[in-house]
Amino acid sequence: MTSTRRARPGPALLLTVLALTAAGCSAAPGAPEAGPSATTLSPMDPPPVGDIPRLTRVDDRALPVEAYLLTGEQYRSFDAAQSKLATGCLREYGLAWTRPPGPATAAETQTTHRYDPVDPADVAVNGYHSPDPAAGAKPSGAPSVDPDVLAVLGSGLGPDGRSAPGAATEFHGKPLPAGGCLGDAQHRLTAQGGTGRDGDAAVAVNFESFERSRADPRVEEVFRAWSGCMKERGYAYPTPADALKDARWAAADRPSAEEIATATADVECKARTNVVGVWFTVESAYQTELIRRHQAELAAVKAGNDAMTALARSVLAAGG
């Protein structure tokens, strides 16, 4: 499977590990690429912005919505606590399990690959392909998991708080908790708030700001400048997304010389026209306004995330 840069995986890392063990697939981090398009969103006046800095990368900066999304550390705490609780639950059914190694860690911030590509050294080697060497690769020698363990682990709780349809309800006559041992762990860790994944209100802001910013007149203007710069170098792309999603790149297992040359021109033109500085500033302004409009829902999301993380840390600090 070929992998180009794509969206950050969700926080349910333990479930991802089990899926990888069974299917041999992996995910690469990046920017949002699914969600409502700008044409389907309700009208919104472009928010004001202050001075726009010249930026070539923003992986050292945070978007406003990140205060309401789970951090990398929170992901890992929840995942480790869920693994610990699920392992204890399995013991109650006479089963032993060692958690297999997980996939590559998700991007620490939303900006790590949001406006990619931006790194000249990266594209000189990878072009538009993911810089993660494991992305799209099938793990060799992935450990198998005992079918009994998989059945008792279950697949966790769905958004409705229930098991998946067809999930096992007992093991050798002993009832299983909803969602199996993973569901039991999830239920215990979210008893005081949180869901084990990013809150819907925060995810909505994250996607909506990205789509609105791409259609903002100030971003469209800098895209036109970028497109003109690319045309001077022999490349005809209206926007950076068109270059990134050129079907030729996804069809190849490795970047070609043409892909690397195109991506190099892309990065140079982004720097010359300040695409990243304009886009990041404008998107941050949209997020600030969206957060203002949805403050109550987002405050509840943050409180839930904090409560869930506190419980996860408590589980990890306890003996056993």
By the 10 Å C-beta count (0-12 exposed, 13-18 middle, 19+ buried), 264 is classed as middle
Both tokens of 247, joined, read 């079907």
Cis peptide before 117 (omega within 30 of 0): yes
Cα–Cα distance between 57 and 116 in angstroms, integer?
9
- Say if residues 68 and 302 touch (Cβ distance below 8 Å): yes
142, HSE (Cβ side, Cα atoms, 13 Å): 17
State residue 28's pLDDT score.
Answer: 37
Cα–Cα distance between 47 and 317 in angstroms, integer?
45
State residue 119's pLDDT score.
Answer: 97
State residue 165's pLDDT score.
Answer: 79
Complete DSSP assignment for the chain:
---BS-PPP-S-HHHHHHHHHHH-----------S--GGGSPP-PPPP-------S--TTS--GGGGGSPPHHHHHHHHHHHHHHHHHHHHTTT----PPP--SPPPSSTTSSTT----HHHHHHHTTB-S-TTTTPPPTTPPP--HHHHHHH-----TTSSPPTT---EETTEEPPTTHHHHHHHHHHTTTS--SS--HHHHHHHHHHHHHHHTSHHHHHHHHHHHHHHHHTT---SSHHHHHT-HHHHT-SS--HHHHHHHHHHHHHHHHHTHHHHHHHHHHHHHHHHHHHTHHHHHHHHHHHHHHHHHHHHHHHS--
Per-residue pLDDT in tens (0 to 9) along the chain, 320 residues: 344 554 333 434 555 545 434 433 333 335 665 556 666 889 999 999 999 999 999 999 999 999 999 999 999 999 999 999 999 999 999 999 988 766 555 556 899 999 999 999 999 999 999 876 554 444 555 568 899 999 999 988 877 777 777 789 999 999 999 999 999 999 999 999 999 999 999 999 999 999 999 999 999 999 999 999 999 999 999 999 999 999 999 999 999 999 999 999 999 999 999 999 999 999 999 999 999 999 999 999 999 999 999 999 999 999 76
- State the pTM of this model: 0.84
State residue 133's pLDDT score.
Answer: 55
